[in-house]
Amino acid sequence: MILPRHKALFATLLVLAVLAYLFLSRSGSAIPVRVAAVQRGPVVSTITSTTSGSVEPRASASLSAEFIARVMEKRVQEGQRVRAGEVLVTLDPEERKEELAAAVAGRAAARARLAQAVAKRKEAERELRRTEALYQQRVLSRRLLDAAVLEAKVSARGVEEAQATASELDRRVAVSRIRHDKAEVKSPFDGIVTEIHIDEGDTVTIGSKILEVADDSRTHVAAPIDEIDAAKVRLEQRARLIPDAYPDQVFYGRVYEISPIVSTGTETNRTIQIKVALDRDDPGGTQDESGGIGAFKLGMSVDVEVILAQNDSVLYVPTFAVIERSGKKFVLTAEGGRAREREIVTGLSNWETSEVTSGLSEGELVITSLNDKSVREGARVSVEESGEKPGG
């Protein structure tokens, strides 16, 4: 029988015995880990867009109504390819015809009045010369001479007024002719219809959007980058483009525009927009028969990585295998069935890979399964599987 005063001691010894058993059991078995071999190849330092970018046309046009009219005919559909000058939509031309006819008739009348005014001025000038001659001969009085001078001035002003009216009617005819011609809404360039805002029978008013046309022969990817990285981005820097539609393919382009304005959409995420044009000379930028980059469609989402620097043929490890502590960097290697901590020095890095400038040799195995806190210096480990070769 155990005395009461010994029960607490007994319980403590029992717990210690259990813990010792568990510790010995645990330390006696190897921890399965995943590893990746130290590779040699290219490593790049990049800036990644804060969100996916979007494929946009270099040029686009929003065609709007310039007068009130009824839509007579819609000749295209969204997504249809069109040519420069092609008629896309026809508006009711009757009112425009009447307006043009009235302007032409008004111009003809104004020109007739101008011709009459010119003839009248010539007659007044002849009469003035005759009156001046007779006045010099003292045949006619000063009063008649003054009347002839006044008549010549009045006729001259009549010509000026008629000329002004005729010019105004010429302008009105030109405007009416343009408005008449715009009853046919035409494409300003070769491209693709991206959006249609009307249907046949609709009535459009001045400024009403009719349709949108985009020139997709030249496109770019617009993407936001964090304002912190703005100073690192330069024009003509190369960029990797990874379309969501082709996650296993990488295309390349060059930064050709950097917005001077910081977007303040949210207080916690201020960005600037960059535009990347696809590099047609790059092997990754496959072209279709029309000369455009076939894989990229307007509106497609694309991840953008601006390449700041690149080192070729260097040692690298997966970035997620690198441990940072007290300003230093380490990895855990699998050596002789044990995890060994190794201090390393890194160079360029990105989300996937980090260059190793010292501390490791090619082919050594670094442990990548670091979520298990028991994987530490000296722990017994067994290689469960090798990580896939990381890309540079």
Interatomic CA distance for residues 250 and 262, integer angstroms: 28
Residue 38, domain CATH? 2.40.420.20
The reported pLDDT for the residue numbered 10 is 52
Structural domain includes residue 67: no
User: Tokens at residue 142, please?
Assistant: 């000063």
The reported pLDDT for the residue numbered 213 is 95
Interatomic CA distance for residues 40 and 46, integer angstroms: 19
278 and 259 in a common domain: yes
SS3 144: helix
- Across 268-305, b (16+ Cβ under 10 Å) vs e yields eebbbbbbbbbbeebeebeeeeeebbebbebebebbbb
227 and 145 in a common domain: no
367 and 319 in a common domain: yes
The reported pLDDT for the residue numbered 283 is 45
Structural domain includes residue 18: no
Statement: the pTM of the whole predicted model exceeds 0.85: no
Interatomic CA distance for residues 92 and 71, integer angstroms: 6
Count of structural domains within the chain: 3
The reported pLDDT for the residue numbered 384 is 80
Interatomic CA distance for residues 363 and 368, integer angstroms: 15
- Segment holding 175, helix H or strand E: helix 142-181
306 and 221 in a common domain: yes
Taking only the tens place, the pLDDT of each residue in 45-73 is 999 999 999 999 888 999 998 888 889 89
Biggest CA pair distance of the chain: 168
The reported pLDDT for the residue numbered 9 is 53
Given a cut of 70, is residue 7 above it in pLDDT? no
Structural domain includes residue 261: yes
Q: How confident is the model at residue 286 (pLDDT cuts 50, 70, 90)?
A: very low
Taking only the tens place, the pLDDT of each residue in 364-386 is 999 998 888 888 899 999 988 65
Q: Give me the percent of the chain exceeding a pLDDT of 90.
A: 45
294 and 225 in a common domain: yes
Q: For residue 54, give the nearest of 237, 214, 283 by alpha carbon.
A: 214
Given a cut of 60, is residue 350 above it in pLDDT? yes
The reported pLDDT for the residue numbered 3 is 46
User: Tokens at residue 298, please?
Assistant: 């307007």
Q: Give me the percent of the chain exceeding a pLDDT of 70.
A: 84
151 and 107 in a common domain: yes
320 and 345 in a common domain: yes
Contact (Cβ atoms closer than 8 angstroms) between residue 39 and residue 315: yes
175 and 156 in a common domain: yes
Range with lowest mean pLDDT among 59-63, 182-186, 313-317:
182-186
236 and 169 in a common domain: no
Structural domain includes residue 301: yes
Interatomic CA distance for residues 252 and 303, integer angstroms: 11
Q: For residue 239, give the nearest of 129, 324, 350, 145 by alpha carbon.
A: 350
Q: Which of 245, 278, 310 is the last residue of a domain?
A: 310
The reported pLDDT for the residue numbered 311 is 93
Q: How confident is the model at residue 1 (pLDDT cuts 50, 70, 90)?
A: very low
User: Tokens at residue 386, please?
Assistant: 């090798």
Q: Which of 158, 182, 206 is the last residue of a domain?
A: 182
Average predicted confidence (pLDDT) for the chain: 84
292 and 275 in a common domain: yes
Interatomic CA distance for residues 285 and 246, integer angstroms: 13
The reported pLDDT for the residue numbered 246 is 85
96 or 251, greater pLDDT: 251
Range with lowest mean pLDDT among 223-237, 290-304, 327-341:
290-304
Structural domain includes residue 369: yes
Q: Which of 139, 165, 182 is the last residue of a domain?
A: 182
Structural domain includes residue 83: no
SS3 89: strand
Structural domain includes residue 298: yes
334 and 299 in a common domain: no
Average pLDDT of 196-200?
A: 94
Range with lowest mean pLDDT among 308-322, 328-342, 368-382:
368-382
Structural domain includes residue 234: yes
Residue 236, domain CATH? 2.40.30.170
319 and 302 in a common domain: no
Average pLDDT of 212-224?
A: 90
Q: How confident is the model at residue 245 (pLDDT cuts 50, 70, 90)?
A: confident
Domain span at residue 260 reads 47-58+217-310
Interatomic CA distance for residues 166 and 118, integer angstroms: 13
Q: Is the dihedral of CA 183, 189, 191, 197 positive or negative?
A: negative
